Structure 1
Amino acid sequence: MLINNDFTELAVVKNNEYQWHSSPQVGIERVYLDRIGEEVARATSLVRFAADSIQPRHTHDGGEEIFVLSGTFSEGDKDYPAGYYLRNPPGSEHQPSSRTGALIFVKLRQMHSDDKSIIRVNTQNHANWIETQGTQRCPLFSNHYEDVYLQRFPANNVWHCELERLTELLVLSGDISIEGEHYDEGSWIRFPADSSLKICIGQQGAKLFVKHYELA
Structure 2
Amino acid sequence: MLQIRSDYATRAVVRPGDEAFVPSPLAGVERLMLDREGGEVARATTIVRYAPGSRFSAHTHGGGEEFLVLEGTFADEHGTYPAGTYVRNPPGSSHAPSSAEGCVLFVKLMQFDPEDRERKVIDTRSAEWFPGLVDGLTVLPLHQFGSESVALVRWAPGTVFQPHTHFGGEEILVLEGTFEDEHGAYPAGTWLRSPSMSRHHPFTRSGCTILVKVGHLPA
Q: Could you say which TM-score interval applies, normalised by the shorter chain?
A: over 0.9
Structure 2 counterparts to residues 145-164 of structure 1, below 5 A? 145-160=147-162, 161-164=164-167
Query: Over aligned residues, Cα RMSD in angstroms?
Result: 1.3
2:76/2:97 contact within 8 Å kept: yes
Q: Deviations for 1:38-69, whole angstroms, at most 9, x for unmatched residues?
A: 11110000000000110111100000000011
AA of the residue aligned to 1:55? F
1:67/1:105 contact within 8 Å kept: yes
Q: Deviations for 1:121-166, whole angstroms, at most 9, x for unmatched residues?
A: 11111x4211223211000000104100000010021123321112
Q: Deviations for 1:25-48, whole angstroms, at most 9, x for unmatched residues?
A: 100000110000011110000000
1:76/1:97 contact within 8 Å kept: no
Structure 2 counterparts to residues 2-81 of structure 1, below 5 A? 2-76=3-77, 78-81=79-82
Deviates more, 1:154-163 or 1:99-108: 154-163
Q: Could you tell me how far apart the structure 2 residues matched to 1:48 and 1:87 are?
A: 18
AA of the residue aligned to 1:191? S
Structure 2 counterparts to residues 58-137 of structure 1, below 5 A? 58-76=59-77, 78-125=79-126, 127-132=127-132, 133-134=134-135, 135-137=137-139
Q: Could you tell me how far apart the structure 1 residues matched to 2:212 and 2:173 are?
A: 7
Q: Percent identical across equivalent pairs? A: 39
Q: Could you tell me how far apart the structure 2 residues matched to 1:162 and 1:121 are?
A: 29
Q: Deviations for 1:168-189, whole angstroms, at most 9, x for unmatched residues?
A: 0000000022225121100000
1:31/1:45 contact within 8 Å kept: yes
Instruction: Could you tell me which runs of 5 or more consecutive residues in structure 2 were left unpaired when the two chains were aligned.
Output: none
1:168/1:190 contact within 8 Å kept: yes
1:68/1:82 contact within 8 Å kept: yes
Find the residue that maps to 1:56 and give its secondary structure: coil
Find the residue that maps to 2:9 and give its secondary structure: coil
Q: Could you tell me how far apart the structure 2 residues matched to 1:215 and 1:75 are?
A: 29
Q: Could you tell me how far apart the structure 2 residues matched to 1:151 and 1:190 are?
A: 16
Q: Could you tell me how far apart the structure 2 residues matched to 1:159 and 1:138 are?
A: 17
AA of the residue aligned to 1:5? S
Find the residue that maps to 2:36 and give its secondary structure: strand
* Normalised TM-score (structure 2): 0.94
1:167/1:190 contact within 8 Å kept: yes
Q: Deviations for 1:65-116, whole angstroms, at most 9, x for unmatched residues?
A: 0001111111226111111100000000011111111000000011121111
2:170/2:217 contact within 8 Å kept: no
Aligned length: 214
Structure 2 counterparts to residues 195-214 of structure 1, below 5 A? 195-203=198-206, 205-214=207-216
